[in-house]
Structure 1
Amino acid sequence: MAGQSYEQRKTGTESAPEASKELKRKKRMKLVVYAAAFAIFQTIVILVFSLTVMRIKNPKFWLTSVTVEDLTAAPTPVSFNMKLSAQVAVKNTNFGHFKFDNTTIWFDYGGVGVGEAFVARGRSKARSTKKMNVTVELNSNNIPNNSSLENDIKAGFVALTCHSKLSGKVQLMKLIKKKKSAEMSCAMLLNMETRVVQDINCQ
């Protein structure tokens, strides 16, 4: 009986370190699993951050509306003079603000320049659209006599186009600055009878 009791005590004494080792091994495995899960989570966060916040795109720049303030036109001799009030928009989809420089919007008829509008430098906030009003005076002084302007005025519709480029920098977290630009290319139709600019189409 004494021998059996001794063997039981010996077995219990030997199994205690084994149980302790097994417990430590399980703890180490848990730590490894937690560390791997945390590393994967960090990788996903960095990837999402890189694809969204850190991905800097070109802003968008377009003409939203045009109102005729004054208009005089004559088919013979062919000519026109007009004053327009236009609203332009700068859409910044980035997570940092877009600071842009002065620029000019050029208006054309049949590829010939007929006027220009000045856009003052400014800033479009992060993920927002900045709208600005500009004034432009157009005239037909540079249009050659052999153009189709006379027929257009008689028909009551004059097609105009405008184009511009807005250059600046997108700034993220006051640390990253990247040069970006936005180009405007719009077409519109001026109704001479109603004095309304219609069918504005920008790309």
Structure 2
Amino acid sequence: MSPPQSPNSSRDQVRPLAPSSHRIHVENEEGINYTSTSTSSTELAKKRRRRRCIKCCGCCGVTTIIAGIVILILALTVFKVKEPKIWINSIKFEGLSALTSSSNLQTNVNITVTADISIKNPNAVSFKFKAATATLIYSDRVIADALVPPGSARARRTFRMIIKVTIMAEKLVGIPRLTSDLVKGELPISMSTNINGKVNLGLFKKNVRIRMNCNMVVDLQSQDVKDMNCERKVSL
């Protein structure tokens, strides 16, 4: 039997050593004492909060990275701005009979030019463009201007428009090469236009500029266009 303990020694054993922790003494059969100290509830709560913050920050970081990857993929595929295309389907001249010869040139006659132009929008969103000007040039001189109305080419659709230009025959008088061209029966004319617009992708807008210059030769007798060559340039 173990010897009886004094009251004083019993009070010393149950007296707390510190306000934030307590000790548990275990004596095994060999008489060796083991002491275990537990962490205070305040420190445990801090550790839990720290773990929750780390998990929350990690989830936010992963979500941000995934969202950035998705936006990058969409920007390089679906929402990548593609170049709109423009071309002339047909162009007709009326009133060229007044230019059969230089001797009977009638300066009060109007020459009407009708151009059928198409703009193809290959993007997944619409392409809206502002009003522009189509210019007819003969021998490096502007002989007529036509207003290209504003419009919108829907997503993956082709926008078609008809442009009419009126040329006053009196503007051709005084051009040095006119006489020789009338003798040949052919009139070399060029047509140029610049179209400015935007492709709205929701998060951002992309400015698009389309420039087209077409050189052609007009037969004065048949009033048909031949040898038309167009150069196009798109700036994003």
Taking structure 1 as the reference length, the TM-score comes to 0.69
Which structure: larger Rg? Answer: 2
Instruction: Give unpaired runs (5+ residues) of structure 1.
Output: 1-38
Q: Is the 8 A contact 2:111 2:169 kept in 1?
A: no
- Quick check: 1:198 aligned with 2:223? no
Percent of aligned positions that are identical: 30
Compared CA separation, residues 153 and 115, structure 1 to 2 (3 A): same
In structure 2, the residue matched to 1:75 is 102
2:102 alignment partner AA = P
Cα distance in 1 for partners of 2:147, 2:207 equals: 21
SS in 1 for 2:174: coil
| CA–CA distance in structure 2, aligned partners of residues 127 and 51 of structure 1 | 17
Looking at secondary structure, tell me which structure has more strand per residue.
Answer: 1
Pairing 1:109–2:142 present:
no
Do residues 56 (structure 1) and 85 (structure 2) align?
no
What is the identity, as a one-letter code, of the residue corresponding to 1:69? Answer: E
The amino acid of 1:76's aligned partner reads S
Deviation readout 1:103-159 (Å, 9 max, x if unpaired)? 110000011011122111010011222110111112343446352111111111101
Question: Which structure 2 residues correspond to residues 119-138 of structure 1 after superposition, within 5 A?
Answer: 119-138=148-167
The match for 2:197 is: 168
CA distance in 1, matches of 2:175, 2:163: 31
Match of 2:214 among 186, 190, 193: 186
User: TM-score, with normalisation over the residues of structure 2?
Assistant: 0.60
The alignment status of 1:93 with 2:122, answered yes or no, reads yes
d(CA) in 2 for partners of 1:70, 1:163: 21
Match of 1:155 in 2: 184
**RMSD, aligned CA:** 2.5
**Whole-angstrom distance in 1 between the partners of 2:182 and 2:83:** 38
Tell me if structure 1 keeps the 8 A contact 2:196–2:209. yes
Alignment size in residue pairs: 162
User: How far, CA to CA, are the matches of 1:143 and 1:182 in structure 2?
Assistant: 29
Per-residue CA deviations over 1:31-57 (Å, capped at 9, x if unaligned) read xxxxxxxx99x96x7665333322213
Contact 1:112 1:142 in 2 (8 A): no
1:65 — aligned with what?
Answer: 90
Matches within 5 A, 1:131-146: 131-143=160-172, 145=174
